[in-house]
Every structure is written in C-alpha cells, then in structure tokens.
Chains A and B, each alone.
Chain A
Amino acid sequence: MKRNIDKFREKSFSQQVLQKIDELQSGKEIKIMHVCGTHEVTIAKWGLREILPKNIKLICGPGCPVCVTSAQEIDSAVKLSLTNNNILTTFGDILRVPGTSISLAEAASQGANIKVIYCIDEAVSLAKKNPKKQVIHFAIGFETTAPTTAVEILNNSNLDNFSIIPSHRLIPSAMAGLLKSGQCQIDGFICPGHVSTIIGSQPYEFLARDFSRALVIGGFEPNDILLSILMILRQLRKKKTSVEIEYTRLVKPAGNPLAIKKMWQVFEPCHIGWRGIGIIPHSGLKLRLKFKKFDAIKKFNLKIKRAFDVRPGCKCGEIMKGLAEPKDCPYFKKQCKPEFPLGACIVSIEGPCFVAYKYGSI
C-alpha cells in the first residue's frame, strides 16, 4: 500500500504526466477550478502551479467548509454557547473564525460553554451524560460530513436534549451556482476527493452534460492532481465532456450508497448563503419535517438581527468564487494574519489565504 502511495508522489511519474500535459495543450488559456480546501493544500505544498504550463490556470473555488459557513450561523453558535445550560460542540477548525463581531474562541473566553469534538458521536454522548443540559452541535461540512450527522440523528431519535445548527452544504450545487453566475469562466473542475467518495460521480453529470464542463474526481497526492489535469485536457481536446474518476482507489461511481441514503433520510436541499458569495439555490441541507426537533435554530427560537459576512475591503468572497487571489486583498499579511484573522479564509488550515500565507502566494 505504501509503495502505491509513493508512486503518487514520484517525481519521474510527475515528469511523464507533465510532458503529456504539455503535448496535449494548445497554448490557449485553460481555467481549471478545484472545490476542495485539501486540494489547495496539495497544489500549494507541492508547488504545482509553478511547474504547470503558464496557460493552465488552477483556480481555488469554495471548497473550504469553514470559509463558506455564514457569519449568521457563527453568530447563532456564539449566542447559543453563551446561554446558560447549553453546551455547544464544534469541530476545532471553525473555532477562531470571526462571526459578525466575535468568534467562538472569543465567546469561550467570555465564559461560553464550548467543547471541541472530532466526531459527532461525542456530542451525543455528552447529551446522554448530561440530561439536564442542552447539547447543540454546530453541524458544518459538505457531503462527507452530512451523513455522519444524519446517522447520529437516526440512531438517537428519542434524545430530547440534543440538537444541531444545520450548516451542511452541497458541492455540485455550488459548482452549478458559480457557473450560472457567469462571473468566472471555468473550463473544467477537479472534483473533491472525499465528497465524491460519498456521493460518487453521478451528481456531477449534469455539469458535463448541460454546461459542457470537463470533470475529474481527483485524489490528494501531487500526481493525482497532475493526472486529473491531464484527464481534463483530454476531455477538452476531444470536445467530449464527462465525469471521470482519477481517484479510483477510493471513489466508486456509486459512491457510498448507505451514506447517501442516510443523508437524504434526514436532510433535504434548501437555499443557503455561502459566506462572501451569497445565496446559492439548493446548495444547503435542512432537516426534514420529521426531524425538525433537532433544529436548534427553531428549538431555541433564535433570531440574529444583523449579520455581516465580509468586512469592507476584504476579498474573501471574490477569492471563494475564484475571481481574486489572497494577494489581491488589501488586508492579506498586513492587518489580516492567521494569528489575527479579519476574515474566514485565513483561519482554516485549508483556507486559501492561510495556504497562501504558509506556502507562498497563489
């Protein structure tokens, strides 16, 4: 197994793929967007933009769930965490992201009861061990994480002191939303590896069919990305777009049918705002009527009067849409640094601004 992973980092293999990329492209500008924060880490860490032909542009899309969770949702989490008798559970990477005014970390320093967890079953255990407390889980993440939330709700349908802030989002809808906006001309997409492990290749097919975009589901090693780019170029050259799987060692065309089934048992699509981007139709997940008691926003009758996603001048929104780069932001590396974040993109370790800060600008 280790030998196979090494192959995906082998320089000689990279050089062969790069040669084929060079042979296959005509010099015309080709824009390829990825929608996975971890793909951005791979690209930056291995310096892939520097070794590709200059006319092939690798663009970072809104694939960082922490970056696209709205300030209103963070404000809701902050408010619930500051309420007596509540315990808010959250994944660690969103802890320091500023809401409209403060982050969850700052709320914790003000006395909020916040517990960082790695798996949603820890939140459920916490609720069972503390029957007099209300445990609310901040359920962020894409299709990789949504089924895990669904499973816990299905397995604990009688648990009355557990609820979630529903913040899951759907990647194929986001990709369609970006294309429909017409703001960024994308020729092809490298689709996220682990979202696709769950959903398979079928949910992307309409993008190949109706929007004529090349799509390849890629893995996380440098040669996975290079191979994915080669496969995209091949589709564009043949003028025959489809959804291909490069990451065959994990992604099956049918994905994980059990996980998909659980997710749709508990959730249904809804319109949701992506931080800095705006509302993208059918790109969020809301709880079905049967499971409404798990919706913390309704349960606690939460109303956030005014929420602001992006401070004036901040380029997080344009960066998430692939229209700007971190270096275009006036705050980047000046007032906005990982230690003192002004926006979301510099907080998450897979946020484009953090990656650019750590590995050098996009």
Chain B
Amino acid sequence: MCLAIPGKVKKKRKEDAWIDFGGGVVKKVKISLTPQVKRGDYVVVHAGYVIQKMEKEEARETIELFNNLKLNEKKYR
C-alpha cells in the first residue's frame, strides 16, 4: 500500500531516522536509500525506508502546472 503521508525528520543517527507523522505518531525508519535527508525535511516512507524527500516548493509547482495548462489551452482548440 502506498501511504503518501509525508512525515518530518525529527532526528537521525547513522542509517536510522525518527519520523514524526503528526498526532503523536513517531516511527523509526531506515534512511539507507536517502542518506542525505536532514532534520526538518519532509519525507515519504515505504516498507520502513525513506524513499524520497518531499519538496514543499514542488507542491506549489503542480498548482502552477495546472495554471500553465489553462493558459496554453487556447493553442489546442
């Protein structure tokens, strides 16, 4: 199951990190696939491993992507 809830990195030590998912839920996960994550980063976890850091800015980009689609619409009629 792909749980796409981002959690925030609370602390990290070697190949482990503690991720805060909100509501008092903190889980210990592995960062062997994403050793570059830092405290404060938002990350997505799958099967106990952080798979990627979630970019706050990119979320805004997706909205802008849509707005660009609207602007370019006229070309495709």
Contact = CB atoms under 8 A, between A and B. Distances in A.
A198 B51 contact: yes
Contacts of B51: 144, 194, 197-198, 256, 259
Nearest to A4: B59
B60 A38 contact: no
A23 B73 contact: yes
A295 interface: no
Interface string B1-44: 11010100000000000000000000001101111000000101
A24 B69 CA distance: 11
A250 interface: yes
A108 interface: no
A37 B1 CA distance: 7
Contact of A249 (B30, B48, B58, B76): B58
A72 interface: no
Given A144-B46, A248-B65, A194 B59 contact: no
B69 A121 contact: no
A148 B47 CA distance: 8
9 contacts: A1-B6, A119-B30, A119-B48, A148-B30, A151-B49, A155-B32, A193-B4, A197-B52, A220-B4
A121 B52 CA distance: 19
B35 to A, nearest CB: 8
Nearest to A39: B2
B47 A119 contact: yes
A148 B48 contact: yes
Contact of A250 (B54, B63, B73): B54
Contacts, number: 128
Most A-side CB within 10 Å, residue of B29, B58, B60: B58
Given A36-B2, A144-B2, A231-B69, A246 B76 contact: no
Interface residues of B, number: 33
A271 interface: no
Interface in A156-196: 192-194
Contact of A144 (B30, B47, B70, B73): B47
Nearest to A224: B62
Nearest to A219: B4
Interface in A124-146: 141, 144-145
Contacts of A17: 66
Contact of B48 (A118, A192, A248): A118
Interface in A230-257: 230-231, 234, 237-238, 246-252, 256
A1 B56 contact: yes
B32 A194 contact: no
A5 B4 CA distance: 10
A249 B55 contact: yes
A349 interface: yes
Interface in A91-135: 91, 93, 118-122
Contacts of A350: 1
A7 to B, nearest CB: 6
A234 B60 CA distance: 21
B6 A118 contact: no
Given A121-B48, A144-B47, A4 B56 contact: yes
Contacts of B59: 1, 4-5, 7, 249
